[in-house]
Amino acid sequence: MTALVGDIGGTNARFALWNGQHVEAVRVLPTADFPSVEAAIRAYLQDIGQPVEALQSVCLACAGPVSGDEFVFTNNHWRLSRQAFCRELGLRDLLLINDFTAMALGMTRLRDGELIEICPGQSEIGRPRLVVGPGTGLGVATLLPLTDGGWRALPGEGGHVCLPVGSAREAALWGCLHAELGHVNAEAVLSGSGLLALYRTSCVLDGKQPRLASPMEVTAAALAGDAYAEAVLEQFCVWLGRIAGDNVLTTGAQGGVYIAGGIVPRFAEFFARSGFSRSLRDKGRMSRYFDNVPVWLVTAEYSGLEGAGVALQQQLESMSY
What local confidence, expressed as pLDDT, does residue 72 receive?
A: 82
Residue 259: its H or E element: strand 257-259
Known binding residues for ATP are: 6-11
Weakest-pLDDT range from 84-98, 117-131, 196-210: 84-98
Average pLDDT score over residue span 65-72: 82
Q: Residues with Cβ < 8 Å from 32, sequence gap 6 or more?
A: 11, 76, 77
Bridge partner residues of 81 (DSSP): 70
What local confidence, expressed as pLDDT, does residue 266 receive?
A: 96
Known binding residues are: 6-11
Check whether 242 has a pLDDT greater than 70.
Answer: yes
Q: Tell me what percent of the residues of the chain surpass a pLDDT of 70.
A: 98
What local confidence, expressed as pLDDT, does residue 1 receive?
A: 63
Gap between the Cα atoms of 170 and 233, Å rounded: 13
Q: Kindly report, residue by residue over 144-192, the tens digit of the pLDDT.
A: 999 888 899 998 888 899 999 999 999 999 999 999 999 999 999 999 9
Q: Kindly report, residue by residue over 278-298, the tens digit of the pLDDT.
A: 999 999 999 999 999 999 999
Gap between the Cα atoms of 206 and 196, Å rounded: 15
What local confidence, expressed as pLDDT, does residue 2 receive?
A: 81
Q: Are the CB atoms for 296 and 116 separated by under 8 Å?
A: yes
What local confidence, expressed as pLDDT, does residue 76 receive?
A: 76
Bridge partner residues of 14 (DSSP): 7, 28
Query: Furthest-apart CA pair in the chain: how many Å?
Result: 65
Which pTM does this prediction carry?
0.91
Dihedral angle sign, alpha carbons of residues 12, 229, 130, 74: negative
Average pLDDT score over residue span 190-199: 96
Check whether 79 has a pLDDT greater than 60.
Answer: yes
Q: Tell me what percent of the residues of the chain surpass a pLDDT of 90.
A: 79
Gap between the Cα atoms of 145 and 74, Å rounded: 29
For the beta sheet containing 138-145, the strands, ordered from the edge strand earlier in sequence to the opposite edge, are 115-119, 295-298, 257-259, 129-134, 138-145, 151-154
**Structural domains of the chain ordered from first start:** 2-98+302-320 (3.30.420.40), 115-299 (3.40.367.20)
What local confidence, expressed as pLDDT, does residue 320 receive?
A: 56
Q: Kindly report, residue by residue over 2-43, the tens digit of the pLDDT.
A: 899 999 987 889 999 998 889 999 999 999 999 999 999 999
- Across the chain, mean pLDDT equals 93
